[in-house]
């Protein structure tokens, strides 16, 4: 297995993918990248990655058999992470509901437009303890701008909810009324691989305030430009990649083999 | 004077500019466009537009004399609208604070990074009556993701504030505490031209929930792709363009001259 991430989607490294690619570079997580308009190369099914990350990458971009190949890899121990967006899950044009990945992911997708755009505040709400959430100040929750409406499957774990608020201004005061809470981060297993579904996006516009969550700024060079974001945002996504790709165990393994060699 | 908008910035029509270009197309407001990486052409100073819109377009992109030319045009009756962003006002790389447009705009810029990124809710707050704000439900305020910190000049009018909230989660409940309010939309005059400064962006990520503000969705083709946003968002920006460019008076004038001819 390649000790590497296969990251597909979020337009291009010069576009929305600069965020997650910036996080991977910042934390020294090696990756191969496939832009949203491209298909994976013909040799895709001859390599097994430690982790597949699919984010705003329409299901229609995969060549015949490539999604089934990912399913086999995950069954054999690779991780699979899908991040939300208009081209993820069902979305506007993600259309994964009848794909081979529908049974692998830890959530059930609606067979129709599942986009929820939030003009008024929507906050991230921690609902479980988990390594992905460790060390971050969830009592100072960030906002998000939208998400895909998803249903957790049995035998999965929901770690975060999104919770929407409606705000009215009455006589100079702002009244916040708490509305619907929906699954935002769900994790599970497929064979011996870990799976995760994050219903919001890693990049604007759905990432919302989450991209600026932090007490200091991180600036990272990606493909000749600088990506800038909050440190807690970066650490959350790092944790999500590391856990889903079983990265820490692998790093220990590699270090040991280097020492042993 | 050309009965047309000159729109500069927001990357490209395939990128962030699709939002405002989509609004202009949707409401039949004709425009010429200059991408953020381009300079205005050599013939720029031989044409006077009804309205200049500068949005995430670094001051350094203008050729020598072109900003002074805009200043003269506005003095003579054109409109000038600057929209916020990391490449607007001072921003990260807007750097308009010592440009010829600094005296034209209705706001004073800080001589240093003026970016305010909001991880937690920031709402739009109507503080005056004005044609730009008419017909929109400001009592159901949208959120924004950030803004440039600006100071209104004397003899200008502040129409909108941004108001930030800090949110803490305590024992399962979310507590919102109202924080700082800062100018979000300021309008003024320069000679016989109207000027406006909007401190937030028309596009992600700073536009925040504002882009989805509406009770129905607008879908508009721009440069071969579809832009999608809320109808109240679109109407707010239409009002801002129409008022700053004195569009309604000009439309009436044009129609009359057609009838008279």
Q: pLDDT class for A250, splitting at 50, 70, 90?
A: low
Measured distance CA(A222)–CA(A225) in Å, rounded: 5
What whole-number percentage of chain A has pLDDT above 70? 95
pLDDT digits (tens, 9 = 90+) for B120-158: 999 999 999 999 999 999 999 999 999 999 999 999 999
Q: What is the pLDDT of residue A172?
A: 81
Tell me which of B256 and B110 has the higher pLDDT.
B110
Residue to substitute from A123, A140, A145, A214, interface B, most B β-carbons within 10 A: A145
pLDDT digits (tens, 9 = 90+) for B148-170: 999 999 999 999 999 999 999 98
A256 interfaces chain B, CB cutoff of 8 Å? no
Measured distance CA(B20)–CA(B17) in Å, rounded: 6
Q: Looking at the partner chain, which of B165, B174, B211 has a beta carbon nearest the beta carbon of A205?
A: B211
Chain A residues with beta carbon closer than 8 angstroms to that of B142: 119-120
Q: What is the pLDDT of residue B94?
A: 84
pLDDT higher than 70, residue A180: yes
Instruction: Name the B residues in 17-76 with CB < 8 Å from any A CB.
Output: none
B215 interfaces chain A, CB cutoff of 8 Å? no
Residue A191 burial by Cβ neighbours in a 10 Å radius (0-12, 13-18, 19+):
middle
Measured distance CA(A212)–CA(B120) in Å, rounded: 9
Q: pLDDT class for B248, splitting at 50, 70, 90?
A: confident
B191 interfaces chain A, CB cutoff of 8 Å? no
Which of A146, A176, A136 shows the shortest CA–CA distance to B178? Answer: A176
Contact flag A119-B207 (C-beta cutoff 8 Å):
no
pLDDT higher than 70, residue B258: no
Tokens of A227: 């990506």
Tokens of B209: 């929930």
Q: What is the pLDDT of residue A257?
A: 40
Place of tokens 């015949």: A64
Q: What is the pLDDT of residue A249?
A: 56
Name the residue of chain B whose CA is nearest to A116's CA. Answer: B212
What's the rounded mean pLDDT across residues A69-87? 98
Query: Residue B132 in contact with residue B159, Cβ under 8 Å?
Result: yes
Name the residue of chain B whose CA is nearest to A146's CA. Answer: B209
B139 interfaces chain A, CB cutoff of 8 Å? yes
Q: What is the DSSP string of B87-110?
A: TSSSTTTT--TTSTTTTTSSEEEP
Contact flag B230-A119 (C-beta cutoff 8 Å):
yes
Name the residue of chain A whose CA is nearest to B117's CA. Answer: A212
Contact flag B212-A168 (C-beta cutoff 8 Å):
no
- The whole-angstrom distance between B43's CA and the closest CA on chain A is 31
pLDDT higher than 50, residue A255: no
On average, the pLDDT of chain A sits at 94
Q: What is the pLDDT of residue A256?
A: 41
What's the rounded mean pLDDT across residues B216-240? 97
Contact flag A211-B230 (C-beta cutoff 8 Å):
no
- The whole-angstrom distance between B53's CA and the closest CA on chain A is 22
Complex ipTM, two decimals?
A: 0.93
Q: Looking at the partner chain, which of B119, B170, B207 has a beta carbon nearest the beta carbon of A230?
A: B119
What whole-number percentage of chain A has pLDDT above 90? 92
pLDDT digits (tens, 9 = 90+) for A98-129: 999 999 999 999 999 999 999 999 999 999 99
Contact flag A119-B209 (C-beta cutoff 8 Å):
yes
Q: What is the pLDDT of residue A94?
A: 84
Q: pLDDT class for B249, splitting at 50, 70, 90?
A: low
Look at residue A240 and give its three-state secondary structure.
Answer: helix
Q: pLDDT class for B255, splitting at 50, 70, 90?
A: very low
Q: Looking at the partner chain, which of A119, A174, A204 has a beta carbon nearest the beta carbon of B204?
A: A204
| Sign of the C-alpha dihedral computed for residues A118, A120, A125 and A131 taken in this order | positive
Q: What is the pLDDT of residue B68?
A: 98
Measured distance CA(B56)–CA(A231) in Å, rounded: 25
Cis peptide before A205 (omega within 30 of 0): yes
Contact flag A143-B143 (C-beta cutoff 8 Å):
yes
Q: Looking at the partner chain, which of B139, B205, B212 has a beta carbon nearest the beta carbon of A119?
A: B212
Q: pLDDT class for B251, splitting at 50, 70, 90?
A: low
Measured distance CA(B221)–CA(B204) in Å, rounded: 18
Contact flag A118-B209 (C-beta cutoff 8 Å):
yes
pLDDT digits (tens, 9 = 90+) for B4-22: 999 999 999 999 999 999 9
């Amino acid at each position: 297995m390649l000790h590497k991430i296969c990251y597909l989607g979020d337009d291009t490294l010069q576009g929305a993918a600069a965020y997650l690619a910036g996080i991977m570079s910042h934390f020294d997580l090696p990756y191969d990248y496939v832009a949203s308009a491209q298909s994976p190369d013909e040799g895709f099914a001859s390599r097994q990655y430690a982790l597949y990350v699919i984010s705003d990458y329409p299901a229609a971009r995969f060549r015949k058999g490539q999604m089934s190949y990912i399913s086999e890899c995950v069954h054999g121990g690779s991780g699979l992470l899908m991040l939300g967006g208009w081209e993820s899950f069902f979305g506007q044009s993600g259309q994964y509901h009848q794909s081979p990945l529908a049974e692998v992911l830890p959530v059930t997708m609606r067979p129709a437009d599942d986009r929820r755009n939030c003009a008024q505040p929507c906050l991230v709400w921690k609902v479980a303890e988990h390594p992905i959430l460790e060390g971050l100040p969830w009592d100072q929750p960030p906002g998000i701008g939208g998400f895909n409406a998803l249903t957790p499957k049995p035998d999965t774990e929901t770690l975060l909810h999104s919770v929407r608020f409606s705000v009215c201004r009455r006589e100079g005061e702002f009244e916040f009324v708490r509305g619907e809470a929906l699954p935002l981060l769900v994790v599970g297993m497929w064979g011996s691989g870990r799976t995760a579904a994050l219903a919001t996006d890693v990049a604007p516009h759905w990432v919302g305030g989450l991209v600026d969550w932090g007490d200091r700024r991180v600036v990272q060079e990606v493909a000749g430009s600088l990506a800038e974001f909050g440190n807690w945002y970066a650490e959350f996504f790092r944790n999500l990649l590391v856990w889903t790709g079983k990265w820490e165990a692998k790093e220990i393994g590699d270090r040991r083999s280097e020492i042993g060699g």
